[in-house]
Chain A
Amino acid sequence: MVGKRLRFESKNPTEFVDITDRLRDEVRWSGLQIGRVHLQSLHTTLGIAINENEPLLLRDFERLLERLAPVGAGYQHDDFARRFDIALDEPENGHAHCRQLLLTGFATLLVEDGELVLGRWQSVFAVELDGPRHRQLAIQLDGQFGPPRAKGAGSTELVDLELSRQLMVDPEPVSAPMRRLVEAGGKRLRPTLVQLTAGVGPRTEPLRAASLAAAVELLHNATLIHDDYVDESTHRRGRPTVAAAEGPERAVAVGDYYFAKATRLIAEIGNRSVTSTIAEALEAICASQIDDVALRGAFPGDHDSYLRVVRGKTAALFAAACASGALLSEASPEIVDALRRYGDLVGVAFQMTDDMVDFSPSSGKPVGLDIRQRVLSLPLIYAAEDREVGPEVRRLLAGTLGDEEVGRVAELVTTSGALERVKGEAHALVDAAVHELETIELDGLRPILISLARSAVDRNA
């Protein structure tokens, strides 16, 4: 059973709001295969109807309601002198209550093969009788569920289209290297988080969400291009880095271009809270990069320094992606804050898992790349602190790191139990992230966000 609220705003005093497509989406996102969708109006002047969406017919219905219960026809409900405990802004709406009595306040729709069962001409309407207002319907989906389709299903394509569109209009010297990087893949976790959280609040606009998600992905890739130059990395996602392929000067320019372009695209969305959220994250990323490089002098560092750097370098953009999507959808501050904390925790857990992947022979990457590049890594920190293998790990890390030394350090890390310790810590962070979701209304998104958090740590590549 999945329960949630379907929210919308009516624009007119009487209005037939067609909610059929939204209900179809809810069924698809929930994974309900066979069962029922129960709908219930949460208002006394909002009805539910199933009928044909033909504009002239809807006008006929409105006229019928007007004839049966005209406005201002001497309703006792509108005689405020005879009523108790009425609000200062109580409207004269006896007609709307009476009209609602002629409709219904609840409905049950059938679902088969993962789709709503509706006749060719049938549409489902929420019928506003006293608008314009903010409205909500309670819905419950009940039956046999299959795997849910992500709420962004179809919208990942939107982000890819938006990325392609943006890269198409850019000058070739900057767009070609970025296109290679974008097309090489990547997990697209940050844009996915933007799109998911952009469906949490009352204002759902897939195109704006896709635009923000694409900008966040461009920003992330821009930081990677500079990172690769700083880390002297030769490959990323199986392809030569921009710095390695085209030189550091090009890498600096391409990174700057897409940093600027992404911030422009975000500014053009026109939501100041979103712009500030992303800008703060970017600042945290850059500050942490400086700390990261500085800490290489004290390699492998300690747990506190590690967390401080990872919170900025990785988790800041995860948190900002979650918060900015929610802000775009005009979610409440409590929801935005909870999602921000969720993103922060998932981001740290994601980085810890990335650190472990460096020691996995099945990752598709050479084992020990982080050791060779002296990159901050929690398994290394734990192995260096270990009573048994620590002295040897520290001695090896203090010297020149050739193939033999890297192999030996990787072996010591693997045998020390450091990987299990990091894995436990990453899973605990995901549990904490899931806990953040328990206190807020997420409009049915909770299972997908939980699944995404788990997938961030249950991987070996």
Chain B
Amino acid sequence: MSAVNVVTRELERLEGLWEDGLSDAYRSYLDAVGRFETADQPRLALAAALIEVGVRLQGLGSRAAAAPTLLMGDLCLARSSRLLADAAPQPVQVAFARAIEEMSSAAASERPAPPTRDLLLRAFEAR
């Protein structure tokens, strides 16, 4: 299945986000997934992009989003979790979860978190 088809299929119910920063994030993560199987690369890049967009939608670390937007953010995180379960090696799954733990722990403690993209790019390096 081509990368375009993979992404299109995985955007169900989240199509509106593609032009709202998700496509840019996806493209930037594509550069970081070269070491993985070719077939897995689009899903892994999309998983990272969904986390980046999801926590932004939720307002994690800033003002909490209104209910419908929070739920869209939740769906982004859940979709990302499923993509990682399907395509990522176990150390990468664990590293992504730890990245979200770090962001949300910082938010709950009202201290600044490291930039989301840096955290997620680092997670791809886990072995």
Interface residues of A (CB under 8 A from B): 170-171, 173-174, 226, 229-230, 247-257, 259-261, 263-264, 267-268, 270, 272, 275-276, 278-280, 282-283, 285-287, 289-290, 293
Contact = CB atoms under 8 A, between A and B. Distances in A.
A339 B62 CA distance: 42
A185 B111 CA distance: 31
Interface in B76-95: 77-79, 81-82, 84-86, 90, 93-94
Interface stretch (B21-29, B34-42, B96-104): B96-104
A283 B70 contact: no
B108 A254 contact: yes
B105 A171 contact: yes
A174 B81 CA distance: 21
Contacts of A226: 70-71, 74
Contacts of A254: 104, 108
Counting from the closest, the 10 A-B pairs by CB-CB distance are A264-B97, A260-B100, A248-B64, A253-B108, A173-B108, A256-B104, A279-B82, A257-B104, A253-B107, A279-B85
Interface of B: 13, 55, 58-65, 67-68, 70-72, 74-75, 77-79, 81-82, 84-86, 90, 93-94, 97-101, 103-105, 107-110
Nearest to A265: B97
Contacts of B59: 249, 252
Given A260-B99, A267-B93, A268-B90, 16 more contacts: A229-B70, A249-B62, A249-B63, A251-B64, A254-B108, A257-B104, A257-B105, A263-B97, A264-B101, A267-B94, A279-B85, A283-B79, A286-B71, A286-B77, A290-B75, A293-B68
Contacts of A290: 13, 68, 71-72, 75
Contacts of B97: 260-261, 263-264, 267
Query: What is the interface of chain A mostly: helix, strand, loop, or mixed?
Result: helix
Contact of B82 (A230, A256, A282): A282
B94 A252 contact: no
A280 B107 contact: no
B64 A287 contact: no
Contacts of A264: 93-94, 97-98, 101
Nearest to B68: A293
A261 to B, nearest CB: 6
A67 B93 CA distance: 54
Contact of B71 (A251, A278, A289): A289
Nearest to B109: A173
Nearest to B86: A276
A247 B94 CA distance: 29
Given A174-B105, A283-B82, A252 B67 contact: no
Contacts of A276: 82, 85-86
Given A249-B63, A280-B82, A286 B74 contact: yes
A255 B65 CA distance: 14
A392 B56 CA distance: 43
A171 B105 CA distance: 7
B101 A230 contact: no
Contacts of B101: 257, 260-261, 264
A48 B96 CA distance: 50
18 contacts: A174-B104, A250-B108, A252-B58, A252-B60, A252-B70, A253-B107, A256-B55, A256-B104, A256-B107, A257-B105, A264-B94, A267-B85, A267-B94, A272-B90, A275-B85, A276-B86, A279-B86, A282-B82
A279 B64 contact: no
